[in-house]
Amino acid sequence: MIEKIKPILGDITKIDVDAIVNSANPRLLKGGGVCGAIHQAAGPKLSTDCAALRGCDPGDAKITRGHLLKARHVIHTVGPVYRGGGSGEPELLQSCYKRCFEVAIQHGIRTIAFPSISTGVYGYPIKDASKIALATCKTQLERFPKIQLVYFVLFSRSDLKWYTKHLQDLLGNQEPTWEKLRSFLDELKPNETFLREEEDCRRALLRISELFSGTRAQGTLKELDSLVAMVGSANDRLIHERCSAAVQVLEDKLAHVASLLDKGRARPDFRNKVLKPLQEAKRAIQNETIIADLAGLLAQVDEHFEEAIALIEDKPR
């Protein structure tokens, strides 16, 4: 079953599957990060569908149509806010994935794409969250074999590394695929009962195993690994630089709003109401792991900034 799990880098809003999963807030409102990107790509009707669901409890999941997305459905689940791991967070996160599978089966869904739930603004450490996600996914695939394919769509190479590592841990310390293949082929004893297609397949697989086992192939693989590592490192630096620049812009906006609040001697509750959306956006950008569309997130930051100024000046929107 575990071979059905595919961690990938990408944009979950562009994945062509039966359902994508939205890491939502309890009120199922349009938020930032992955949630905001999904709502933006799906169009305004998704918010209408979500409003009819009347919210969602942490650890639960509910489903809507996908509207303008490639995915036919969106499964909304509310992950736990991380408070150190001793307040039931692991059990709630496990429940998120479990309920998503249960909802998927109820609606005939066979292919599904997950983000990394709760590892954004909710602060769940990626190392622990990815282990829970994959272990729960494996259990649910054994429970629901009709699910054909599960993607974990990630936007950070560091996140992908954790998912890949834990997936390998679940597979166990197995010998390389081509070594297993070669051993298996060496044991085969073709006879008159073999069909031509099976013989053709055997020869093709044997050729592949020989290529992977050769000295030149090993050198090529090492060169490829080095290239991938170099590109990955450059990509990580680019993401970090873009996010650092975005954080600087956001800090300037926060400083301006805070200055206006100080001048107006704002009450603590009002101050928190005004600053909270901007502070959450800052954490999302600093996290560098849930940004499906940085430009879209920055557009939301501008909206939050305008809303903050309007609230301070008591202007109707």
Q: How confident is the model at residue 316 (pLDDT cuts 50, 70, 90)?
A: very low
Q: What is the mean pLDDT of residues 255-265?
A: 85
pLDDT attached to residue 274: 85
pLDDT attached to residue 192: 40
From residue 226, alpha-carbon distances to 7, 156, 223 in Å are: 21, 19, 5
Distance CA 113, CA 5 (A): 10
Q: What is the mean pLDDT of residues 39-63?
A: 95
pLDDT at 258 over 80: yes
- Helix (H) or strand (E) holding 143, with range, is helix 126-143
pLDDT attached to residue 225: 55
pLDDT at 228 over 60: no
Residue pair 303/264 in contact (Cβ under 8 Å)? The answer is no
Highest mean pLDDT among 4-13, 172-181, 284-293: 4-13
Superfamily of domain 2-171: Leucine Aminopeptidase, subunit E, domain 1 (3.40.220.10)
Q: What is the mean pLDDT of residues 36-56?
A: 95
pLDDT at 233 over 80: no
- String of DSSP letters for 30-88: --SHHHHHHHHHH-THHHHHHHHHT---BT-EEEEE-TTSSSSEEEEEBPPPPSSS-SS
pLDDT attached to residue 226: 57
Record the tokens describing residue 166, joined without a space.
């834990």
pLDDT at 289 over 50: no
What does the pLDDT look like over 93-131, one tens digit per residue? 999 999 999 999 999 999 999 999 999 889 999 999 999
Q: Which is more confidently placed, 312 or 132?
A: 132
Nearest to 176 by CA among 150, 133, 208: 208
Record the tokens describing residue 7, joined without a space.
């961690």
User: How big is the chain, counted in residues?
Assistant: 317
Q: What are phi and psi of 30, to 5 degrees?
A: -65, 125
Residue pair 50/93 in contact (Cβ under 8 Å)? The answer is no
Other C-beta atoms within 10 Å of 161: how many?
A: 15
Highest mean pLDDT among 31-45, 248-262, 292-306: 31-45
Q: Which is more confidently placed, 200 or 296?
A: 296
Residue pair 190/202 in contact (Cβ under 8 Å)? The answer is yes
